[in-house]
Structures are given as structure tokens and as C-alpha cells.
Amino acid sequence: MTWTIALTVFLGIVLKMVMSPPSAVVEWIFSKLALHPKLNSKEVTVTYIEKHLEEEEKIRLIDNFNQATFLKQYDIFPGKENLFLHPETNVAPFVINVKRGKNDSRIFVYCLADYVYVVKQYKNKVVAYDLRSENFQ
């Protein structure tokens, strides 16, 4: 009888945790799946026209990138990745190399007049999207 009550209480607690997890767990899951990730300046290296940016400039660029607002994502069909990785524009991109554990990703940031065009390359995938940021533009 005691085991039945204890097991029922334990299953109730587990069910409650699964149905409404703590906000820290939910935030961690969403941060892993985010399209526009928040970057840490210690995990990245930033280059512009083949030159590494100084620490102050890098921190300012990463802060502006983190504060930018996501606008829209582009659909990339298989075989068309190079069109997004190397767009036909005169603007030189900022290249952000991100190292998180074993995963390496590369983010190309093109600052255009109306918006910021971002291409994120990780593993064998390419994702392109637009951002709005007053500081970048």
C-alpha cells in the first residue's frame, strides 16, 4: 500500500516536470535550435577582408549582431548553396568563425543599405536570412 502511494506521487512529479519543464530547460533547448544564435565574443573570431578585427571592434560587432532583429529566412534548394554563399554584391562580408565544442560554423554578414544579409554555414548545411539593425547599417 505504501509503495503504491509513493509510486503514484513519484509518477505525478515526473509527469508534472514533463508537462511543464522549468524555464531554464526550455531556454537551453531553444538556444540550441535557434536560427539566429546569440554569440559570445570569446568563442568567435571575426575577419574583414582577410584581416582579424581587434578585440574592441569584435566585441562591438558581436553585440550589434546579438541585438539585431530577425526579419525573414530564405529557402535554399539543394545545389543552389553557392548562390547564397557567394552573392553578387560589391559589399565585403564580415566572416565570423564560431567554435562551440566540436561544432564549427561560419557566418557571413553582409551589411547592405536596407538590411543585413546573413549566411550561416555549418556542417553541410547553409542557411540564409535577413536582419534589421540600425548599428550595422
pTM of the entire structure?
0.76
Distance CA 116, CA 114 (A): 7
Q: What is the band of 137 on the pLDDT scale with cuts at 50, 70, 90?
A: low
Report the percentage of the chain scoring pLDDT > 90.
Answer: 5
CA dihedral over 93, 116, 68, 38, signed as positive or negative: negative
Q: What is the band of 102 on the pLDDT scale with cuts at 50, 70, 90?
A: confident
pLDDT tens by residue, 29-80: 777 777 778 888 888 889 998 888 888 888 888 898 888 888 898 888 888 8
Strand order in the sheet with 125-132: 51-52, 44-48, 94-100, 103-111, 116-122, 125-132, 69-74
Q: What is the band of 8 on the pLDDT scale with cuts at 50, 70, 90?
A: very high
